[in-house]
Each structure stands twice: as structure tokens, then as C-alpha cells.
Structure 1
Amino acid sequence: MKNFIYPCLTIRGKITEAAEFYTHTFGEGKIGVSNPYIVEIEMSGQKFMLLTDGPVNDPNPAISFMVMCETAEETEDIWHKLQEGGKVMMALDAYPWSPKYGWIEDKYGVSWQLYTGTKEDSAQKFCPTLMFTGDKAGQAETALRFYTSVFPNSEVQGVLKYAEGEGDRTDFVKHAQFKLNGTVMMAMDSSAEHGFGFNDGISLMVSCETQEEIDSYWTQLIANGGFEVACGWLTDQYGISWQIIPKSIGKLMSDPERGPHRMQVMMGMKKLIIKELEDA
């Protein structure tokens, strides 16, 4: 399924502005569903949802997005656009892993790692990247193996540990890449004192065809210390927020007559029940 898993970014009160900014900054973009609460955008064939309210927290660099650029010129062009009102986290420069790389937080608080490489490095333009810090440092490999066991058509593609003298523990993950039902994601550990960790400012949305899928992912993701939140949201044992939703949610909520009542019904749910929403 295309866009089976995709990110949701909390951008308070500026989702329309942010949608236009991102589609202009990254190119190959278009704005889809739009209302006062959410805006969906598609960039290079990948879906993002922008949410104006709901989560308690704002985005932070614990979840960033690796952006695969094919030329230094493309990297520099995107970098200069993101710099407007943004904050540099790692300077745009040549590094051992890329001839032109930089890490930047944009004016909405969302972090992007710009990587110059080739199409062979990743067929996907934007790769959600999870940084395990604080009390979660050292759990990256365990987490990604857990996630690849939960979702179908998933695999661990590579795990690179820190070498001696590279600034962190040699049993920690320096870089890992994995797929969740075709969505390429990345992960790393960091024992540095960053002052942030995973929160609900950025969540991962899972679009499900059936109630059985919703039930399965919900049960597995809240196991071992995860917990239910509300309206299809949960937090897993590592602190990452997920939204487990039916693929039909947009159609159900956009019905001019029944949509408002369905929204009220959904507000009273934790795990979403498709039939109850359809019958509302």
C-alpha cells in the first residue's frame, strides 16, 4: 500500500503556511486534503500530514528527516530555504559520509538532515530518522528489530555501530536503515545530553485497510510498557507516538451530514473501531 506509514507534524496555527513552504522548498510537491485542523501534502510521492493542534508537545530533533539529494546544488538550494528562520544543528559541509551534508531545524521546529548522494543510497526522498537519546540511548537496534517484526514486508537493511574513538559507545548504533512495509526509515543512538527525546509532536501514521489490522498493530505497539492515548493515538515502549487509523477515515469524516457526529464518536475512543464510526 502506498504511504502505508507516513509522518504527522504538529505545527500550531500555521499548517497552511507550512504546507506552502514545504512544497516550495522541496519541490515536486502538492497540497491535498485541507481543512482548519489538518493539511495533507505530498512531496516526491510521499505523504506528510500537518496537524494544527492536539498533541501536548512540539517537534524536536529526536525524529528528523533524512533528505536524499542527488547534487550539491540541490542540497545547497534546500539548505538556504530552510535557513530562513531556522537553526543550524550541524553546518553544511563535507563529511566522511557525504560530500555535502547538514542538519537544520526549520522555522516550524522540524529537523532535516540533508544528504548528498546517489539514487542507489535510497530510492526514497525523505526517510524518518529516529534518534534514541536519554534513557532510550542504546535501544535503537532492539527497537528497529521490534518494528520490523510488527509490520509486514519489513526488513533490517543494515546496522553500523560506533568504532573506537568515534565519540560514543561501541555497542551503540551509529546508523541503521530498515524498511517498514516498504517505507525506508533510519535510526541511531546518542548518549550525549541533548535535552530532548521522543514525544507526540511528530507521530507516525499507519493507514489500515481492516479492523483486524488496527487490532493487531494496536496490541503489539502498546505491549511491554506502551500505552493508549486517544482518538487512535498510542505511545509505544520506546516513547514514539503512533496513529493507527482506518484508510477510510478521510471519507468517513468528510461526509457533510454524518461527519461531525462521527468526529464526536471518535473523540470518545482510544483504539478506533471502524464499524462504530461507519454506523455513527
Structure 2
Amino acid sequence: MSVRLTPYLVFPGTAGEAIAFYEKALDAQVLFKQSYGEMPANPDYPLVDEQKGLISHAMVQVGESQLMFSDSDEGKPIPQGNQVTICITTKDASLSKKYFEGLKEGGTVILDLHEAFFSPAYGQVRDKYGVTFHLFTEGESMN
């Protein structure tokens, strides 16, 4: 069973600046970076021009560790407790579902576990202690 916990940093429109800063300060290497404008268009959530350049997701390597980054999709201030979250990565959708169900007990579902263009099972939940988790299943989605 392979499970990985990765800190996920969310910024109010400054993720690109933060990534550049960590590249310099920590010799970080960008493994992946995508803006909201580079994602597949979603007619239910049309983007305004200011959102298109914001970072939707980035993965950065620092030594043997990785950090994930994104901007809030509106570039607005991040609610307290949401700037640093944890991404739980598995290769098994049923394991992601088990963790999601366990964490949502007494907590709040932010985004139901669902199939997305980037994952066969992805969701977000804030547990009863106020910690926000992203559940991410690696692999090809059916979309």
C-alpha cells in the first residue's frame, strides 16, 4: 500500500511568486505547474482574465520532499486554517474513499470525492479538528 502525505500551500494570487522565491531560497525544482487558464474549460465556472494566470496546481521538489502549491481560484485572501493543507495521495480509489469517509466523520465535506480530469477519485474534506485534506488518487481518469 502506497500512501504519501504532502503539504499543500494555498496563496491569494501569489503562488507563482512563492514558487520563484523557494526556487532561489531552497534550491527547489518545479516538477509541474499549471495555471487555471491551461486547464480544460468548464462552462459552469467560466474564468475571467485575472484568474487565467493564477496557479491551479504546482508540485515542487525540495531535497527529498515535495510541496504542492495553488492560488485560490479568485485570488482572494485565504481563510485562516486553509493556507496549509495536506494532500493524501494513493494509487487506489477505494483507499481514497475509505480515508475520505473516515475524515468526514464529524467534519465538513468541501468537495465530494469524484472522478476529475486529473484523477479517478479526488475530493476535499475538513476534519472535525479543522484540518483540511485533499484526497488524490493517482492514475488515469475516465474523462
TM-score (norm. length: structure 2): 0.68
Find the structure with the greater CA-based Rg: 1
Identity, % of aligned positions: 16
Measured in 2, the distance between the counterparts of 1:227 and 1:59 equals: 15
Does the CA-based 8 Å contact 2:2-2:91 persist in structure 1?
A: no
1:235 aligns with 2:126: yes
Counterpart of 2:43 in structure 1 is none
Match of 1:51 among 41, 46, 70: 70
SS in 2 for 1:230: strand
User: Taking structure 1 as reference, are residues 2 and 213 closer, same or farther at Cα in structure 2, changes over 3 Å only?
Assistant: closer
1:221 aligns with 2:103: yes
**CA deviation vs aligned residue, 1:38-69 (integer Å, no higher than 9, x gap):** 22111011111111114986276xxxxxxxxx
Does the CA-based 8 Å contact 1:234-1:242 persist in structure 2?
A: yes
Does the CA-based 8 Å contact 1:59-1:202 persist in structure 2?
A: no
Counterpart of 1:265 in structure 2 is none
Which one has the bigger strand percentage?
Answer: 2
Measured in 1, the distance between the counterparts of 2:9 and 2:142 equals: 30
Measured in 2, the distance between the counterparts of 1:15 and 1:204 equals: 16
Counterpart of 2:30 in structure 1 is 31
TM-score (norm. length: structure 1): 0.37
Does the CA-based 8 Å contact 1:11-1:51 persist in structure 2?
A: yes
Q: Indicate the structure whose relative CO is greater, using CA pairs within 8 Å and at least 6 residues apart.
A: 2
Counterpart of 1:13 in structure 2 is 13
Trace 1:26-175 onto structure 2 (pairs within 5 A). Answer: 26-27=26-27, 29-36=28-35, 37-54=56-73, 58=78
Which one has the bigger helix percentage?
Answer: 1
SS in 2 for 1:279: coil
Structure 1 counterpart of 2:71, which letter?
Answer: T
Residues paired across the two proteins, number:
112
User: Which stretches of structure 1, 4 residues or more, deviate above 4 A after TM superposition?
Assistant: 54-57
SS in 1 for 2:97: helix
**Cα offset for 1:2?**
8.0
Measured in 2, the distance between the counterparts of 1:216 and 1:57 equals: 32
Counterpart of 1:133 in structure 2 is none
Does the CA-based 8 Å contact 2:125-2:132 persist in structure 1?
A: yes
Gaps of 5+ in 1: 61-198, 253-277
**Cα offset for 1:279?**
2.5
Measured in 2, the distance between the counterparts of 1:244 and 1:7 equals: 12
